[in-house]
Amino acid sequence: MEESIDLGTGRNVVVGQLPSTGSTVCPKRRKVSDAWGQFTTSTEDNGEVRVKCMICGKSYAHGSSSHGTENMRRHMECCPKRTITSSVDLMMMDCDTKLRHMKISQEIYREKMAIGIIKHNYPYSIVEHEGIRDVHMYLNHEVKHYIRNTAKADCLKIYYREKEKIKLVLERVSGRICLTYDIWSSCTTDGYISLTAHYVDENWELQSRILNFCHIPPPHSGALLSDIVYDFLKDWGIEKKVFSLTLDNAIQERLKMSSVALHKIRESVKYVKGSEAKRIKFGELVQKIGVISSKGS
């Protein structure tokens, strides 16, 4: 022990010894090991100090220099619950790191955003929202932000791509195509027209596809609407494959104009099929005027 002079009394005192009583005290050691942060301490009735793992609850004796923190450290290395937790944490950290630094395709990113806008009817301006951009930047810092006009162009690109796919499907339809047509007004009194195709595919399953849905300005006259529908059919390339057209009351007047011609056609067919001589004569006239037909006389 070291001696020092007490400035108040001038007497020599021993460090660690109380001047008044002469008794010796041991200074309390500071717990510097990081293992203490993983265990709790408790004192038994017999005075024994024990430490308890915060993860699995297993306890160890800790009261003499023979124990120290070695048993705690050994337990930290082999604790089953601590090992599982550490493995999961490491895996999550690894996944998070890979996600943040993963190389992404800007084209795929923009296409998925456009598909989301189309599916959920979001405004194009959603790509400019600060909150959306923050989320995407958190997931990957290499994301490049863009404006609403670019989002609109991406949506139109998807529309034209899917339209070409449907055109190829309609082109391969071996049978005829039935159409339904409707015109209605929105809550803002704007007029819209829709055209839907119904057909049987190669697997003999009924399919329906909305071909057109667009705004039409007034007037909504029968002549104008019939021209619009015909332009739709030509655009899809199915104007010669139509079997039937189911309409609302918008262009019934237009059909009345063709009723006379349809009546004459039906009567002419009945006349030609009335006898064999008439069919032969009709066939000769067809050949004479040079009408090309795949049907027999």
Of the candidates 208, 205, 186, 207, the residue with the CA atom closest to the CA atom of residue 195: 208
Does 146 fall in a domain?
yes
Total domain count for the chain? 3
Does 294 fall in a domain?
yes
Please give the residue range of the domain that contains residue 284: 252-297
pLDDT at 206: 92
- 179-194 pLDDT, tens digit per residue, is 998 888 888 788 898 9
Among residues 214, 229, 247, the one where a domain terminates is 247
Asked if residue 167 lies in contact with residue 235, where contact means CB atoms within 8 angstroms, the answer is: no
DSSP character string of 46-57: TS-EEEEETTT-
Asked if residue 139 lies in contact with residue 167, where contact means CB atoms within 8 angstroms, the answer is: no
Does 114 fall in a domain?
yes
Least-confidence region, from 79-88, 239-248, 258-267: 79-88
Does 138 fall in a domain?
yes
Say yes or no: 242 and 257 in one domain: no
- 79-122 pLDDT, tens digit per residue, is 776 655 555 555 665 666 565 566 888 999 999 999 999 999 99
Tokens of 87: 């493995």
